[in-house]
């Protein structure tokens, strides 16, 4: 979990802030500050989508940092989350429709679906670890990153087509979670759905950060990501940590899918865009760097929002890609560097 700050001790002050990392961060903060004054909608859009990419990317970064697995099935957890939320929310919505006086449902109706998505995500994550990765790990750790990459790509194909077989190609979505007039923040109307997405993202990321920093299990996860053998020698049962890491990461992705159901209806390929964006973020921040991924998510989202605002929506995925090409050219270890080194040789 190398952050830029921990590496700064020996670098002279002038060079410290002229680095690519700080220039990028500074530029992003400036644009956001400007947006807050001139175009508040840019700031709000950035925060809302950024929060969700942060949930996706933090889980992806954690699984890569702790288990060295490049999870290309991460988007499918987004799909499972959104479908779970749809399934749980639909009867609640119907009940509200039939009896509009149920104000409790009006306020709290969407939450059971999100909690269910969180649980489904966790269970699927645990299953993936126990059924797929653990047997592979026991057999051989040679070419681990390549093997797990292929394995997760395969899992993705299986889940997408399994879903297609079971639930068909139709869109399963909702137009809105909370049927109330939009709020007004900084003079910009913002739907309650979007505001809630931001709240959910911030609360979840906050809890996640506290979990990693302050609890003994969180400390164990960080320890394993820094030195697997050393962690085992300190009495940490690696299998438990791997199960926990995978479950947590998948739960976060599923929660993102559930919370964004009103933007992304559940359909077989819905996970693709979130998957790629999460990978953009992780590459941008540095592989396996969790705090970096959270910051990076907001940078990518800012880039997307600016693109959508000043160019066209069609360029929304192009601009982050261009930015990532630049990053890989000039700073291959990512903006914030990475604790994961030499992973491709493992």
Partner 1 sequence: MALLELSGVTRRFGGLTAVNDVTFNVEAGEIFGLIGPNGAGKTTLLSCLAGDLRPNAGSVRFDGRDTTGLPADRMCRLGLGRTFQIPRPFPNLSAFENVLVAATFGDPKLHGEAVARRALEMLEYVKFPRPIDTIASHLNAAQLKRLDLARALASHPKLLLLDELAAGLTPGELTSMATLLRRIRSDGVTILMVEHVMGLILELCDRLSVLQYGELIAHGDAATVARDERVREAYLGHDYVL
Would you tell me which residues interact with partner 1 (CB under 8 A)?
Answer: 1-2, 6, 9, 216, 219-220, 222-223, 226-227, 229-238, 339
Buried-state track 269-303, b at ≥16 Cβ within 10 A, e below 16: ebbeebbebbbbbbbbbbbbbbbbbbbbbbbbbbb
Shorter beta-carbon distance to partner 1: residue 321 or 346: 346
**CB atoms closer than 10 angstroms to residue 258:** 31
Shorter beta-carbon distance to partner 1: residue 4 or 52: 4
**CB atoms closer than 10 angstroms to residue 56:** 30
Closest CA to 73 of 129, 25, 19: 129
Contact predicate 189/183, CB 8 Å: yes
Shorter beta-carbon distance to partner 1: residue 142 or 184: 142
How far apart are alpha carbons 339 and 82 in whole angstroms? 32
Contact predicate 172/267, CB 8 Å: yes
**CB atoms closer than 10 angstroms to residue 173:** 17
Q: Which two tokens stand for residue 17?
A: 């802030």
Shorter beta-carbon distance to partner 1: residue 215 or 321: 215
Contact predicate 287/64, CB 8 Å: yes
How far apart are alpha carbons 343 and 107 in whole angstroms? 47
Taking the C-alpha atoms of 210, 215, 219 and 224 in order, what is their torsion angle to the nearest 10 degrees?
Answer: -100
Shorter beta-carbon distance to partner 1: residue 238 or 319: 238
Shorter beta-carbon distance to partner 1: residue 74 or 222: 222
Angle at 295 between CA 231 and CA 290, to 5 degrees: 15
Tell me the closest approach of the beta carbon of residue 208 to partner 1, in angstroms.
Answer: 18
Tell me the closest approach of the beta carbon of residue 27 to partner 1, in angstroms.
Answer: 27
Shorter beta-carbon distance to partner 1: residue 176 or 341: 341
How far apart are alpha carbons 156 and 151 in whole angstroms? 9
How far apart are alpha carbons 55 and 57 in whole angstroms? 6
Tell me the closest approach of the beta carbon of residue 85 to partner 1, in angstroms.
Answer: 36
Shorter beta-carbon distance to partner 1: residue 165 or 233: 233
């Amino acid at each position: 979990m190398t952050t830029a700050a921990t590496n700064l001790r020996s670098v002279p002050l002038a060079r410290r802030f002229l680095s690519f990392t700080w220039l990028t961060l500074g530029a992003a903060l400036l644009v956001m500050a400007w947006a807050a004054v001139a175009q508040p909608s840019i700031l709000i859009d950035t925060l809302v989508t950024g929060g969700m990419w942060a949930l996706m990317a933090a889980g992806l970064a954690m699984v890569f940092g702790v288990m060295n697995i490049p999870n290309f099935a991460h988007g499918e957890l987004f799909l499972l989350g959104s479908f779970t939320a749809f399934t749980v929310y639909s009867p609640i919505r119907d009940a509200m429709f039939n009896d509009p006086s149920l104000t409790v449902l009006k306020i709290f109706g969407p939450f059971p679906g999100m909690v269910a998505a969180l649980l489904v995500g966790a269970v699927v994550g645990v299953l993936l670890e126990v059924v797929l990765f653990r047997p592979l790990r026991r057999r051989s750790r040679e070419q681990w990153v390549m093997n797990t990459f292929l394995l997760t790509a395969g899992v993705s194909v299986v889940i997408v087509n399994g879903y297609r077989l079971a639930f068909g190609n139709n869109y399963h979505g909702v137009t809105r979670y909370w049927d109330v007039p939009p709020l007004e923040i900084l003079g910009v109307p913002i739907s309650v759905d979007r505001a809630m997405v931001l709240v959910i993202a911030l609360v979840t990321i906050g809890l996640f950060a506290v979990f990693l920093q302050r609890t003994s299990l969180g400390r164990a996860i960080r320890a394993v990501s820094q030195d697997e053998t050393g962690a085992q020698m300190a009495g940490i049962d690696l299998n438990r940590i791997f199960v926990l890491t995978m479950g947590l990461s998948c739960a976060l992705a599923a929660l993102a899918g559930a919370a964004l159901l009103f933007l992304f209806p559940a359909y077989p390929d819905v996970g693709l865009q979130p998957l790629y964006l999460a990978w953009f973020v992780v590459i941008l921040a540095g592989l396996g760097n969790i705090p970096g991924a959270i910051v990076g998510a907001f940078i990518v989202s800012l880039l997307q929002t600016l693109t959508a605002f000043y160019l066209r929506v069609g360029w929304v995925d192009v601009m982050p890609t261009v930015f990532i090409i630049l990053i890989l050219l000039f700073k291959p270890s990512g903006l914030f560097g990475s604790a994961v080194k030499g992973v491709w040789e493992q």
